[in-house]
Structures are given as C-alpha cells and as structure tokens.
Amino acid sequence: MNIITLTGRIFGEITTKEFDTGSVVTRFKLSVSTGKDKNGEYKPSLVFECNAWGKLGTEVIAKYAKEKDFVALSGEITAMTPWSSGEKSGVNCNVDVRTFELGGKQNNETNNGAEPGEKVAVGKQSSKTEDVPF
C-alpha cells in the first residue's frame, strides 16, 4: 500500500474546485522542513501538492485551515514528476489526503483560538459522515 505521513506548513492559497460530475477537490501546498545542514543552515523545504476530495476538503480543510498553519496529514502519493530549471532540479509530488490534523503554531501564536500544539480539527476522508471524528 502507498501511504505517506507528513507534517509541515500550508504554503500559498487553499482552493476548492467543483467538477461537472459533482466531485469536489480542495487543493493546497504543504511545505515540509528538511532540517539544517552540518553548517547549521536550513536546507530547502520539500513542497507537496495536496488534494483533499469531498467533505474532508470542503468541511475541514477549506473551512478551518489557512496559509502558514502547521498541519499533519497522511495520504497516497498519486504522481511524482521530475523537473529542472537551469542548475536546479527536483520532483513534484502529488498527495491525495486521507487524514488531516490542524495543530497549533510555534512562537506562542494561536491557531483558530487553540493553544500552541492543541489539535483543533481532525478529518478522515470517508463516504460516511459518521466516520469523520471531531
């Protein structure tokens, strides 16, 4: 099974799109820190393109999450596309989100009224509403 678990910060705008078929997807980017190198300098972050389908996206992520929020999620890698620009290169990675948690921000900032580190919303993608724990 193809499962990835990530923690990081939402980067950029959160968008929701409805298709002609009635399906709805909420899209956002997740920036994941890779730590510091041996000189103490921060290494470039990894950025994941995330898609949350259905109620998880519209009723949890689009409603409660915003740019720079610290989140934890798990999901399935759906595509990995290599890219290059001059001397730089990398891989774009798309993730279909299955579970999502909002967490508090660092530096004593609050997140939707929560204390730092407090979980304020939890979502699980499911076709049954009663399976979404809050």
Give whole-number Cα distances, 47 to 12, 28, 121, 124, in Å. Answer: 11, 10, 22, 22
Going by C-alpha positions, the residue among 124, 132, 131 that lies closest to residue 97 is: 124
CATH 2.40.50.140 fits 4-34+43-128, yes or no: yes
**What pLDDT does residue 104 have?**
56
Give the predicted TM-score (pTM) of the model: 0.72
Distance, CA of 87 to CA of 84 (rounded, Å)? 7
Domain ranges in the chain are 4-34+43-128
Give the residues across from 122 on adjacent strands: 101
Per-residue pLDDT of the chain (134 residues), as tens digits, is 689 999 999 999 999 999 999 999 999 999 998 888 899 888 878 899 999 999 999 999 999 999 999 999 999 999 998 888 888 777 889 999 999 999 854 433 333 444 444 444 444 454 444 444 44
Q: Which long-range contacts (C-beta less than 8 Å, at least 24 apart) are formed by 33-41?
A: 33/8
